[in-house]
Amino acid sequence: MVEIIRGALGIKEGGSLPQGLWQTEQIRALERNWAAREGQPLYALMERAGAALRTYATLHWPDSRCWWIFVGPGNNGGDGYVLARLARQIGIEVVVIAARAPDQLKGDARRAADEWQAVGGRVWLTEQFDGAQQPAPDLVVDALLGTGVNTPLSPLLTKIVATINGLAAPVLAVDLPSGLNGDTGRAMGAVVQATRTLTFIGIKQGMLTGDGVDCIGMLDCDPLGVTPDDAILPAAWRIDYPLLSTQLTQRQRACHKGCYGKVLLVGGNRGMQGAIVLAARACLRAGAGLVRVCQHPEHPPVSLYQPELMSLTTADDEGWASVRVIGPGLGQDEWGKGQIARYLTDRLPLVLDADGLNWLAQSPRHQDNWVLTPHPGEAARLLGCTIADIETDRFAAVQALQRRYGGVVLLKGAGTLIYDGERVALCCEGNPGMASGGMGDLLSGIIAALLAQGCSATMASWLGAVIHGEAADLAATDGERGMLASDLLPLIRKLVNPDTITS
């Protein structure tokens, strides 16, 4: 597994995004290491960033002739000053609006501002700027703050961000939308809503989860010639279906159903049969050999909904199952409590979801044989905190969950995070259409099926997440609003057979 991810580091063929995700301090360390190795000043990277921005802006907005560039007090603002100077060289009308006077800047940012002014460039201070007196922009560049945000924005910066968001022009964010914490993915109050973001050196881990997914717009990465060194590994890894689908190899011709595992799913209390049926159907579609369901006895047999599903007719599975799923529609009454007592095990691979997690929160225990799949509300109950606490730093939350409960933890949400005690993976598949009932039940079934077919808990979680999200992305071609969990079932089958997919 490590080799799969390590081998994916760097720009993949076709110019797609790199797999490595970085914390902001790691990026600064990579820059320092590059400067020492190459014997060049860090200002050389600022020049490269400005040149990359000019190329990027002219590529994506070739007809734009007036750029408003908002510059901040640090090196992100320095990138903006370099861009202003280079844009002027190709005939772009540039308006520079600064949060801090150039003579108050330091280091490379001061040098970049001085070089802009040396060629006759003017700087408008924010409090003096009257946009009505300037030509309207057809491109706005956000070079305010970059990666340096870890506290709430000041009133001045909040006002500038509001100004940027209120302009009727596309917005290019330099490295990171201003106001976004690059490590956690949390908006620190106001945040720039970018049309596109060009990030440098590597993708910051907070860009693809939490608030980041709504403010980065279209994301591209330019390494500026800086290659990661072996001494610093990414803080997290971006996973997607194209990367991991290579693990779904063709089956041997002489196989039989017993080769692909027996999954028992426990749940489906009164009024919640749909949850366990969806999980079981997804388990079948993801390739489990045999699937049996333990549900409340008042419900009709699950075979009425899917003939291939079997019902559990005795008090336990008598050693039948090779994998168990506990939780979809389980409920928190005495019947649900009884199923937890009967089927919770530390011997078999186990997926715990929904009310299975709520029972775990009431009686915490640490096991290494399970995959836990909480959404932020369930995660908050498991950690005894609030949903806001979870969403403030999803990376910290998923690691805290794994340390407390063991196994592999998959924290659902925009930018699903998976942590197995060694590495954090971030799944960037999926869309808002998944915000509907039953989607999580499908995920439990998919992961269980992959476990039954011999995947490790880590790989089953990674593959389950990307198959689930990719299926939703395919279903979204008919629209996100109104997407049903059951819409994904035929797509799950297609995705676990990548050899059947044609480009």
To the question of whether residue 413 is assigned a binding role by annotation, the answer is yes
**178 among the known binding-site residues?**
yes
E strand or H helix that includes residue 116: helix 107-118
Residue 114, marked binder: no
Q: Is 275 annotated as a binding residue?
A: yes
Please tell me whether 414 is known to bind a ligand.
yes
Q: Does 118 belong to an annotated binding site?
A: no
The H or E element spanning position 290 is strand 290-294
Residues 47, 48, 50, 55, CA torsion sign: positive
Question: Distance from first CA to last CA of the chain, Å, rounded?
Answer: 26
Q: Is 329 annotated as a binding residue?
A: yes
Cβ pair 31, 58 in contact under 8 A: no
Rounded to 5 degrees, what are φ and ψ at 201?
Answer: 70, -60
Answer yes or no: is 181 a known binding residue: no
- Dihedral sign of CA atoms 285, 290, 295, 301 in order: positive
Question: How far apart, in whole angstroms, are the C-alpha atoms of residue 503 and residue 500?
Answer: 10
On whether 478 is known to bind a ligand per the annotation, the reply is: no
- According to the annotation, is 392 in a ligand binding site? no
Looking at the chain, how many residues does it have?
503
Could you tell me the two tokens for 424? 């954090």
Residue 161 known to bind ligand: no
Is 416 part of any known ligand binding site? Answer: yes
108 is in an annotated binding site: no
**358 carries a ligand binding annotation:** no
Q: Is 147 within any annotated ligand binding site?
A: yes
CA–CA distance, 326 with 230 (Å, rounded to integer): 41
Query: Binding residue per annotation — 369?
Result: no
**Which run of H or of E encompasses 95?**
strand 93-98
- CA-based angle 123:129:135, to the nearest 5? 85
Is 77 within any annotated ligand binding site? yes
- Ligand-binding site membership of 333 (annotated): no
75 annotated as a binding-site residue = yes
- Residues contributing to the annotated binding site: 75-79, 142, 146-152, 175, 178, 275, 329, 375, 412-416, 440-441
Q: Which residues are annotated as a binding site for AMP?
A: 412-416, 440
Residue ranges for the binding site for K(+)? 76, 142, 178
Annotated binding-site residues for (6S)-NADPHX read: 75-79, 146-152, 175, 275, 329, 375, 441
